Chain A
């Protein structure tokens, strides 16, 4: 009896399992064929969209509200996968209630709702799985450029050309010619820039130094060249061979991030020499990688001299970002050859909190720009700005009404929409509000820069700022011929969806004395690198060449910089050049040149 029951159970299980497996098989095949249908169908419909094929937007109330939006009659719901931006993850938890606040505001005032999809794994990996399973939301943003191209090539991204023309007046107006950069070879628009615009920063690659130590030297003028920077660092080190704890002090260090590994030092130097992305742009329009230039050798010799004289932290290859910050704040490193804001985070921002009232305003790092001998500050590429950024937003073929979404993105790109999506809805309790004259007034609390984290950033997070952007200006909300931001409170400048700087409206100087100290000697202007953007298709051989060289360069660089003598350094430099050239550096140089030429042609339209 018992045996029989067991048998029956087992056979039942078996039958069930078999059915499931069969069902899954048929489902698999069914699914893959349906994938085909949609993709081919998608190609034909989206590939040849003309004005007439555009979907009409859903009915609206017909009245534009105070925020410049004509709300739809029925709530518009947009599903979005927003890549792996950390903002998204933080707000998923909604710890500060910002998401809830903004959700409510959106529903009440705009009749729009977002359905966010979060994945914390690598975005390329996730997008590939989405492609394979034909399962993705209506909008994907924060995606790499090459993945946007892949979606477009498979007919999974909606052709936006007509929609942008018809509903995207803010986008076309404010982006100007830069919009052309996003078009494909046929002039069609499948992708938008997630965060575009000029960088609002004053500083970029930095030849920074401890300001209080520099003052001790009593020099009248700030150093102007890399060589002078080295000499100044040397003098400071002579005054401060060890820190308070007795640890040996170094001039500069680096981080072990895969994008750095000592390369940031070189890149900063190259910025002072006016190289773009590590390439020298010759007069005849050709590109030469720095390893093939005499300037590169000059830089190598200078950094090698610093290394041999014990000025560079020997642990520079094993230093994490946090170690870097801690080395700055504990006085173990007194210069900052690299990203400017590391010196802020590890410098006065740490000290002003830790030392409270005893904090001396001169105890800080100063960001400094230098130029190679014979070059003026205008020729440097220390501070660069890529107008179209590196991430993209697409509307996918899953979207039933692209016109609605485009209308929304266009609102986001209106001046007011830009500000709201960046800072949260204007209100008494937010960092900004709109007064009776329609001016955008910022709260007095945020005028104190040293308390930015508490007053500005916390308030912004409570109001849901920044996270709800699909594709808008992430850079400087600058009042220029394309955009109209003259309503912004004159007490703040360089406003972006992330940040702002309080200024004296009269003089235009930063109202915080410390900020002025930090930036008074950073005079390099922003260099527009948009035309130098490069996208590698991972399936093309050139991207492997690029990856191989990118992987090998830090190793060769380590050998060059840590060489035991100047002759050895030069030898290592030449060896590296020879080795990299056999890996196909010439192809890469040509590719960068071609990209530039193609970009220039595209931009012209």
Chain B
């Protein structure tokens, strides 16, 4: 695949002098850029491997001063990270798969040439991007549907997304209409067109949306907190949030004694950094797998042309 790509690029990428200068500048630029992007993360990583009381003295930049693994062992011993991780993964997988499938289907419907309801559907969904009933009515809805303390509450309310619909639809528009037309003429049903033509052609945009949806599911905590009071379906993020927000206590607790007690138990910034790492690393590691579809999309693009 890469070979083919190179062949394709070859004719117009003659290594001109100015082109090389540009390449070098571009690469330097990207390296500086990457450093800026990586550093804060690296800083957290360093902090997470540094001893907690020592970290208070500051001055940690590129390497831990007092190396330790205790921040991580503390986290693994002190909380239900294992179950939390499993639930998080389940949520990401189920939530992402269903939302891609359903939003994609919706997007397809709104792009079918000549379909009388396409504009209607788009407007109906576009409105939902800007208007919502707010927290209390939504909460009451979940209560009345019996979704409290269920896994369903993580994916069902996000089944269709107007934003994803828009993105996928704009991609489908850029595909040649003739493909669908000819399939239709040959008697293919709409579901078949969706499965056999649209889905394969839309892989790049679906991959991009997959990342967004996956990250959204992985990062969300508010619905976990309010719709899951029993704590049976707590995700990793909830633990992270609890730990991160502890440091915010001075602003919240009125009772001086309670505050003092809370601050006494405050986890060190090192433990918080370790938690950040535990919660974010998995999703970053998943990213490259989605990413490869952006590139393969190019080949499909070439084929279809």
Contacts and interface: CB of A to CB of B under 8 A. Distances in A.
A470 to B, nearest CB: 15
A128 B77 CA distance: 35
A2 B189 contact: yes
B129 interface: no
B250 A321 contact: yes
B57 interface: yes
B80 A93 contact: yes
Interface stretch (B91-99, B112-120, B259-267): B259-267
A199 B260 CA distance: 13
A259 B226 contact: no
Of B79, B256, B269, the most chain A CB neighbours within 10 A belong to B256
Interface in B247-265: 247, 249-258, 260-265
Given A121-B226, A321-B247, A329 B56 contact: yes
A391 B254 contact: yes
Interface in A85-134: 85-87, 89-90, 92-93, 95, 117-121, 125-126, 128-129, 132-133
Interface residues of A, number: 62
A326 B56 contact: yes
Interface residues of B, number: 48
A322 interface: yes
Interface stretch (B7-15, B20-28, B136-144): B136-144
Contact of B250 (A132, A257, A453): A257
Given A259-B250, A350-B56, A453-B264, A474 B189 contact: no
Contact of B263 (A126, A345, A475): A345
Interface stretch (B33-41, B238-246, B277-285): B238-246
B128 interface: no
Interface in A154-185: none
Given A89-B242, A322-B269, A341-B260, A129 B226 contact: yes
A444 B100 CA distance: 64
Contacts of B56: 322, 325-326, 329-330, 350
A201 interface: yes
A120 B229 CA distance: 9
A498 B260 contact: yes
Nearest to A247: B58
B145 interface: yes
Contacts of A6: 189, 191
Interface in A530-553: none
A119 B255 CA distance: 19
Given A6-B189, A24-B141, A89-B242, A457 B264 contact: yes
27 contacts: A24-B145, A28-B140, A31-B144, A85-B253, A86-B246, A86-B249, A86-B261, A86-B265, A87-B262, A93-B79, A95-B78, A120-B238, A121-B222, A126-B226, A129-B226, A133-B139, A135-B143, A199-B257, A245-B59, A260-B250, A321-B250, A322-B56, A322-B247, A322-B269, A326-B56, A389-B255, A391-B254
